[in-house]
Amino acid sequence: MSGFFTRALSNRLFWPVVMLVALLVVNAVAVPGFFSITINADGHLFGSLIDILRNGAPTLIIAVGMTLVIATRGIDLSVGAICAIAGAVACSIILDSPDPGGLWTVTVAVATALALSLVLGLWNGFLVAVLGIQPIIATLVLMTAGRGIAMLITEGQILTVESAPFKFLGSGFIVGIPVAVIIGAVLFSLAALLTRRTALGLLIESVGINPEASRQAGVRARGLLFTVYGFCALAAGIAGLILTANQTAADANNTGLFIELDAILAVVIGGTSLNGGRYSLVGTLVGALVIQTLVTTVYTVGIPPIATMVFKAAVVTAVCLLQSPTTNAAFARWRDKLAAGRRVPAEAVAK
Amino acid sequence: MASALQTRAPAPPGNPDPVIDMTGISITFPGVKALDGVDFRMFPGEVHSLMGENGAGKSTLIKALTGVYSIDAGTIAMQGRQVTFSGPAQAQAAGIATVYQEVNLLGNLTVAENVMLGREPHRLGGINWRATRRRAKEILQRLHLDIDPNSLLNSHSLAVQQLVAIARALDVDASVLILDEPTSSLDAEEVAELFRVIRDLADAGVAILFVSHFLDQVYEISDRLTVLRNGRLVGEYLTDELLRIDLVQAMIGKELSTLEDLENRKRSSEAGGASSVPAFLSAHGIARKGAVAPIDLTIAPGEVVGLAGLLGSGRTEIARLLGGIDHCDAGTIQVNGKPLKLRTPRQAIAHRIAYSSENRRSEGIVDELSVRDNIILALQADRGWFRPIPKRRQDELAQSYIDTLSIRTPDADALVRNLSGGNQQKVLLARWLAIAPRLLILDEPTRGIDVGAKAEIQKLVVSLAENGMSVLFISAELEEVLRLSHRIIVLRDRRMVADLPNENLDLDALLALIAEGSEADEQAGVTS
């Protein structure tokens, strides 16, 4: 038992998971029946946990892309703006179409929005990989300019759409599970398979840790950077469509506002260093869940709105402290002591 | 530990108290006992060399002394008082100055800022830049280093950067100066200069801890030697009383006859290597502005070509051109008779040309990846990300190189960062061997690694060549170049001055070629 405990403690996901469990317990105490999941009359799953998954899906989707970008030593600040652009493009196409509720219209709208997102991601990749601009600056360009582009597309209006197939993306259900959750799960699995079943993950980590050594080993960093920035922007586009569909309106100013910061936070809580290198998609998943559960907790525990930000800050600070190298070193010493205590009697027996 | 049984040399005349007295030091890392009950002492005014193979515990002992690592057992006394340093800053404040093996300076700051970092003179609450520069200049002049303190550190050669690191350490009012491999990137003249400075400091009563893999230098400068092996103390000796052969035996713990062997094998393979096989690679007039003047060069399969020259003579620059790291401004390269435009390392690797960089840490290993990932990296990059090497094959590859190159690591999953320098070098070699190169370019593969590993790498080069691989071998140690090469290309001031078969060549002849035409003092400064 204690062997399992010391092993678990050395895992970098230990503290994020503890934090997630602690938050869930707090909720369960505050709201009896927090864990209950029921099936309502329409055959849809229903419950607080389902809400957390559904509302956390856009952040998770972006955070998955962000994880890969951060693993290459980069960062992508433009994801929030891309959310807004994707939503604006889709809504304006649907509005201009004679048949806003048609499946074909929505397919064209979604495809166009995602294609544009991908192009914007490749633009980021171009700035970083070809022009060698520092990622934080390169993506800052689109972060600020992107909302302007979205504004031009919506002509400064909030575009409200009445389109059942489009709305389905944000609030629909497939075999009882929210569509947003399914999209999140598919994207997450796809990213995990694509990077870990191929050598993509190894090469990304290698470039993130030591770009020059990787170049000399024949790794094509340029292609990798295009890939990760493109993928991250595509993920942002998907998240933007989910957010927009959920509100059934494109708001150039507010769709995906500050979501880049939540996504970065999810990655960091998940144990991936901002210095690049080793990354953990599972960690990012836990991180995204911690953030969304935190938001839910604020409501269930009834923290007054004015104190919300402070509460959130306190929890995030706690997670970061628990993960800091200093704290980890202290825990490592403690662990060694535990291990040494166990080993001595074993050696004595052997003699 | 049984330290009482080990040899301990008598204290210097006058029987002064040791300035440093470490007893029973033990340090354990995950999976490795890095130090096991080691005693070590230093006397004022003495140069004390710490000797041992890679992984013997030299760097660990130094880091224990300077407070980088906390010790698990043992005591450290400084000037008779027991001390515990919880970090390098404390050790520095107590008068222990350290220059680490790899240059640890800030390349994007000026020389003066690097020398004075953290102790700039202040005035009116701000840094007094004029005084900072003046003070830096004084210190640099003490090292006879005439460079502009206002220039960026990066604009200087590695050798100058090393001297700046020493200048930085010297500025601290130190009673102990630790120099970990200070000479590995210096040429003979600079070494002589450094030794003069070390002597001055020792005469002034500073105790100096000197670590080097160059035995000549150790014998030239040290008064006293402490030998470690596998984390344990072998003994402490007076340099004058220890024969070289005994020292080498103490370090590696076994008789060393492989080198003699090597000599014979190379000679015997020469007959085959020198025959007129078509060249694997031939370069005509390749050049790069500011790096290399146009040169011609050919390498046949199974041939070891040595590049000899002083630091900065263009050795590395030529190697980088052939490895595709930098590209040529002029000239043509043919591989197997077909012209090849080399623009990236990737293209070179695709043609099975591998360049192993001299900057192991910054351009070689990927330190946060495992030994296995480091070994398969180039092969995997060459296959492309969509064709992953199956996990089982990865394990087989890693394990076979760990075994054949005797890489000392707990397992293939260990991070390369946790390995000693020589073992990191072997991991890097394994990465290049894994792509089955036709031409292996080794840039200082034996720098900063111990006698045993050195011999292993030399042996490897010979057997690779016997199996038909072409090797371009660069080393600052001319003995090594002479021992291994079938042909030697001599460079001076970024130009090729000779390309000749390694027949009847000896060290003196080679030195003469390197120095040919230039001032005689260049030759006189070389220790042979």
pLDDT digits (tens, 9 = 90+) for B272-329: 444 467 899 999 999 988 788 899 999 999 999 999 887 667 889 999 999 999 989 9
A199 contacts B385? CB cut-off 8 A? yes
Assess whether pLDDT exceeds 80 at residue B162.
no
Whether residue B514 sits in one domain with residue B487: yes
Domain annotation covers residue A88: yes
Q: What is the pLDDT of residue A117?
A: 98
B345 contacts A210? CB cut-off 8 A? no
Helix (H) or strand (E) holding A70: helix A48-71
Assess whether pLDDT exceeds 80 at residue B186.
no
Query: Which residue of chain B is at minimal alpha-carbon distance from A216?
Result: B345
| Tokens (6 digits) for B108 | 């994007």
Average pLDDT of span B45-61: 87
A196: chain B residues, CB-CB within 8 Å: none
Whether residue B450 sits in one domain with residue B337: yes
Domain annotation covers residue B11: yes
Domain annotation covers residue A349: no
Domain annotation covers residue B450: yes
| Tokens (6 digits) for A5 | 């405990």
d(CA A191, CA B366): 23
pLDDT tens, B113-128?
988 887 788 888 888 8
Whether residue B286 sits in one domain with residue B262: yes
CATH number for the domain harbouring residue B501: 3.40.50.300
User: Counting every residue, how long is chain B?
Assistant: 528
Assess whether pLDDT exceeds 90 at residue B250.
no
CA angle A78, A83, A84 (to 5 degrees): 100
Domain annotation covers residue B366: yes
d(CA B524, CA B265): 33
d(CA B404, CA A70): 37
Domain annotation covers residue B205: no
Please give the tally of structural domains in chain B.
Answer: 3
What is the torsional sign of CA B473, B479, B483, B488?
Answer: positive
Domain annotation covers residue A350: no
A31-40, A222-231, A238-247, B176-185: segment of lowest average pLDDT: B176-185
Q: What is the pLDDT of residue B311?
A: 67
How far is residue A148 from each of residues A110, A141, B184, B202, B420, measured CA to CA in Å? 20, 11, 56, 68, 53
A202 contacts B380? CB cut-off 8 A? yes
Query: Which residue of chain B is at minimal alpha-carbon distance from A217?
Result: B378
Option in A199, A224, A278 nearest B368 (CB): A278
B357 contacts A216? CB cut-off 8 A? yes
- To the question of pTM greater than 0.90 for the whole model, the response is no
Q: What is the pLDDT of residue B254?
A: 54
Q: What is the pLDDT of residue B262?
A: 57
Domain final residue, candidates B383, B417, B436: B436
B115-119, B361-365, B377-381, B398-402: segment of lowest average pLDDT: B115-119
d(CA B66, CA B86): 9
Residue numbers of A between 182 and 221 with CB closer than 8 Å to B: 197-200, 202-203, 205-206, 209-210, 212-220
d(CA B487, CA B472): 10
3-state class of B32 per DSSP?
Answer: strand
Higher pLDDT, residue B524 or A295: A295
ipTM value of the model? Answer: 0.87
Task: DSSP letter for B468, please.
Answer: T
Domain annotation covers residue B59: yes
Whether residue B278 sits in one domain with residue B225: no
B355: chain A residues, CB-CB within 8 Å: 216
B381: chain A residues, CB-CB within 8 Å: 203, 214, 217-220
Option in B346, B369, B388 nearest A218 (CB): B346
Domain annotation covers residue B233: yes
Option in B350, B385, B431 nearest A217 (CB): B431
Domain annotation covers residue A97: yes
Residue numbers of A between 266 and 295 with CB closer than 8 Å to B: 277-278
Give burial (CB, 10 Å; 0-12/13-18/19+) of A29.
exposed
Higher pLDDT, residue B100 or A145: A145
Domain annotation covers residue B234: yes
Whether residue B369 sits in one domain with residue B475: no
Per-residue pLDDT band at B426 (split at 50, 70, 90) = very high
Mean pLDDT for all residues in chain B:
84
Whether residue B389 sits in one domain with residue B275: no
A271: chain B residues, CB-CB within 8 Å: none
Assess whether pLDDT exceeds 80 at residue B2.
no
Q: B35 lies in which domain range?
A: 1-92+215-254
Whether residue B86 sits in one domain with residue B52: yes
Percent of chain B whose pLDDT exceeds 70: 89
B205-214, B340-349, B434-443: segment of lowest average pLDDT: B205-214
Contacts from B501-505 at CB under 8 Å and sequence distance 24+? B501/B274, B502/B306
Domain annotation covers residue A50: yes
3-state class of B294 per DSSP?
Answer: strand
Whether residue B471 sits in one domain with residue B347: yes
CATH number for the domain harbouring residue A295: 1.10.3470
Option in B350, B368, B387 nearest A209 (CB): B368
Domain annotation covers residue B210: no
Please give the tally of structural domains in chain A.
Answer: 1
Option in B350, B366, B389 nearest A214 (CB): B366
Give the closest-approach CA distance of A197 to chain B in angstroms: 8
Option in A199, A200, A210 nearest B366 (CB): A210
B33-42, B187-196, B319-328: segment of lowest average pLDDT: B187-196
How far is residue A182 from each of residues A20, A177, B435, measured CA to CA in Å? 21, 7, 42
Whether residue B221 sits in one domain with residue B292: no
Query: Which residue of chain A is at minimal alpha-carbon distance from B28?
Result: A336
A203 contacts B381? CB cut-off 8 A? yes
Domain final residue, candidates B384, B409, B436: B436
Option in B365, B366, B380 nearest A199 (CB): B380
Query: Which residue of chain B is at minimal alpha-carbon distance from A202?
Result: B373
Give the burial string for B151-187 (b: 16+ CB within 10 Å, else e). eebeebeebbbbbbbbbbbbbeebbbbbbbbbbbbbb
| Tokens (6 digits) for B179 | 């120099």
3-state class of A86 per DSSP?
Answer: helix
Q: A250 lies in which domain range?
A: 2-331
Whether residue B81 sits in one domain with residue B11: yes
Assess whether pLDDT exceeds 60 at residue B266.
no
Assess whether pLDDT exceeds 80 at residue B523.
no
A216-230, A275-289, B174-188: segment of lowest average pLDDT: B174-188
Higher pLDDT, residue B249 or A150: A150
DSSP code string of A125-141 = HIIIIIS---HHHHHHH
Question: In chain B, which residues touch A (CB < 8 A)?
Answer: 323, 325, 344-346, 348-350, 355, 357, 362-369, 373, 377-378, 380-389, 431
Type of residue at B278 = P
